[in-house]
Chains A and B, each alone.
Chain A
Amino acid sequence: MIKYDFDAAQSPIFRLSMIIGSFLPSGLTQAAESLSGIVEKQALNTPAIAIFLTFVLVTLGITYWAATRTRSRSDFYTAGGGIPAWQNGIAISGDFLSAATLLGITSSIYAMGADGLVIIAGTLGAWPIVLFLIAERLRNLGRFTFIDVVSYRLSATSIRPIAAVASLFVLIFYLIAQLVGAGKLIQLLFGLDYLLAIISVSLLMVFYVAFGGMLAATWVQFIKAVLLIVGGTLMSLLLLNHFSFDLGQIFTRATEVHPRQESLVEAGAWLKDPLSVISVGMTMVFGFIGLPHILMRLFTVKDAANSRKSAFYAISIIGYFQLLIIIIGFGAVALIMGNGDYHDAEGAMIGGSNMVVLHITHFLGGDLFLGFIAAVTFATILAVVSGLTISAAATIAHDLYAGSFAKGPVSEKTEILVSKLSVIGMGLLAIVFGIVFEHQNVVFISNLAMAIAASANAPVLLMAMYWRGITTRGALAGIIAGLVSSVMLILLGPQVMVDVMGIEHAIFPYTYPTVISVPLSFLSIWYFSSTDKSLRAEREREAYAEQFVLSETGVGVTDAVSH
């Protein structure tokens, strides 16, 4: 039995949606919002802290090792392109398999049943498209950031600042959402104070990235991903063993004990109208295509073939883990719904509804297994914010400073210095925003990050790689239209107007603006490019042939270094 310490004086109560939602990169935030429950600071979890400290010590050792191998700009941003495909694939899967996947989707399935599965299908629908359409061309055309690719044949001085601002919006919003959620979750899992959690995560993040660059960030992500996969597999095996490896028994028991009964395995609990389903689907697909920190990982391998292999390994691991989540989600319903050890006298889940995974972990493996999974969850947050930070540093130093604002060529040494200063700046920003947003509902911020990625980044990246007719004017129009429309529609949507401002009805009825903002961005690119009759536009169209050859062959792509 878990010993919960409900000390009212030290136990700030928060809406569950704020915590789960703040982690979520996608349609999950809607799912989180529909959950209810309270979260309270728990007793100090000694096994979890011991396991996590071991993780930190190991990763700090790796950072020291990585620092001795990080000398050039290429080393810092992309580990010199020397990460093996299998390791990069696992790291990419780690970037995706955040605390949201483990806690959020499981909680969604626990509360709403089958509708939570749309998120799983959306993810696995998106990743092959990244592989088929983007992975190889991106690796062949770019060096450090996806903006390299967008500006390959367009005017870099015009494109880079605007695209960098859109990217930074995505990364900073994502970082705020992760950190605020992390602070709450650490409070919940470890019994640590919010401020201490925020400061320790931010300092570790700065240390990993400033000293070890992409090599350290990749190793941190790799180790965490392996731990998460091992934990998820173990949990699923214990769960299946409990039901004599009979899946039918799990679903039969789940539909017997859940209040929704038979409809637990049916559609309609969360996504109540067709446009909501389509909107979630579009957010998943285009959002992942436009996430700068995920795209940046495709530059860390030797060549396009390895980039392709990385994406395949990532898809396989993510797919495998999502299948485990289905078992864990419905298994949790079957085993702990209505279980008095995990619910209070009123029937509410002890610690809040997002404790589903942790309760099922404790049910199956006791205190030690609970400590392991809690520590892995903390490691997950740390790894994801490190990935976001190095991507933000590359955007600031490479795209904004060296590519836009610096007058004349910038030396590698100077660019690395600006990158490291950016990392420190991101750390400070993370602490400040973490404190400022502590008591705010940050669900809309994580939605904003995903919506901007889908609307401002993905359309221009796809069109720059595949459409001969794109021009600088069209690309700028697409980025601006995607950025402005996604921000405006989120602000006018239910998550801000209803949940934050308390207004009865929102002007824009849907949580996700992508159903409007993504087509608007594509249309803007098409219209403003097609009507661009300038000489520069003509040159940009003519340069497509050269870009096409390079994107297919990778001739001249820089050699990788060996780690």
Chain B
Amino acid sequence: MVGLMMLVFLTYLTCWAFIPGVINARVPEDSPVSIGIWFTVAVVVLSIILSGYYTLVIGKKMDRLNQQLLKEVDHD
């Protein structure tokens, strides 16, 4: 999760820093909105989705595993 978020964010920064042509491109060509704006929106949305997945799915699994391990330790 951390790796994916870092990858997206570093890609974003790299594009903005070194290849502004990508940021400034339009799809379709006559669109009033550049890729950079959509890319920003995508980073925001992705960060919410990844955080939600981590919190609601992975985190809960980890909590259950934790509880199980702690019970085993107590039992021993």
Which residues of chain B from 11 to 55 have a CB within 8 Å of any chain A CB? 12-13, 16-18, 20, 23-24, 31-34, 36-37, 39-41, 43-45, 47-48, 50-52, 54-55
A133 CA to B6 CA, complexed, in Å = 12
Q: Determine if B36 and A255 form an interchain contact, defined as CB atoms under 8 angstroms apart.
A: no
A129 sits at the interface (CB 8 A)? yes
A319 CA to B61 CA, complexed, in Å = 25
Q: State the interface size on chain A (CB cutoff 8 A).
A: 50
Q: Which residues of A contact B37 (CB under 8 A)?
A: 114, 117, 251, 265, 326
A274 sits at the interface (CB 8 A)? yes
Q: Determine if B44 and A316 form an interchain contact, defined as CB atoms under 8 angstroms apart.
A: no
Contact of B44 among A268, A312, A322 (CB under 8 A): A322
Q: Determine if B51 and A266 form an interchain contact, defined as CB atoms under 8 angstroms apart.
A: no
B63 sits at the interface (CB 8 A)? yes
Contact of B47 among A127, A254, A326, A552 (CB under 8 A): A127
A125 sits at the interface (CB 8 A)? yes
Q: Which residues of B contact A555 (CB under 8 A)?
A: 70
Interface residues on B, range: 35 or more
Chain B residue with the shortest CB-CB distance to A247: B33
Of the listed stretches A158-166, A205-213, A303-311, A435-443, chain B binds A303-311
A179 sits at the interface (CB 8 A)? no
Q: Which residues of B contact A121 (CB under 8 A)?
A: 9, 12-13, 39-40, 43-44
A120 CA to B17 CA, complexed, in Å = 16
A273 CA to B31 CA, complexed, in Å = 26
Smallest Cβ distance from B69 to chain A, in angstroms? 7
Q: Is the interface of A mostly helix, strand, loop or mixed?
A: helix
Q: Determine if B59 and A316 form an interchain contact, defined as CB atoms under 8 angstroms apart.
A: no
Q: Determine if B66 and A552 form an interchain contact, defined as CB atoms under 8 angstroms apart.
A: yes
Chain A residue with the shortest CB-CB distance to B26: A265
Q: Determine if B41 and A553 form an interchain contact, defined as CB atoms under 8 angstroms apart.
A: no
A523 sits at the interface (CB 8 A)? no
Chain A residue with the shortest CB-CB distance to B31: A248
Q: Which residues of B contact A267 (CB under 8 A)?
A: 16, 20, 23-24, 36
Q: Determine if A124 and B44 form an interchain contact, defined as CB atoms under 8 angstroms apart.
A: yes
Q: Determine if A132 and B5 form an interchain contact, defined as CB atoms under 8 angstroms apart.
A: yes
The 5 closest A-B pairs by CB, nearest first: A125-B9, A277-B17, A274-B17, A251-B32, A312-B55
Contacts A114-B34, A129-B5 known; list 11 others, CB within 8 Å. A121-B13, A122-B9, A128-B1, A128-B47, A128-B51, A265-B33, A268-B20, A305-B63, A315-B47, A316-B51, A319-B48
| Listed A/B pairs (8) with beta-carbon separation below 8 Å | A121-B13, A124-B43, A128-B1, A128-B54, A129-B6, A254-B32, A267-B36, A323-B41
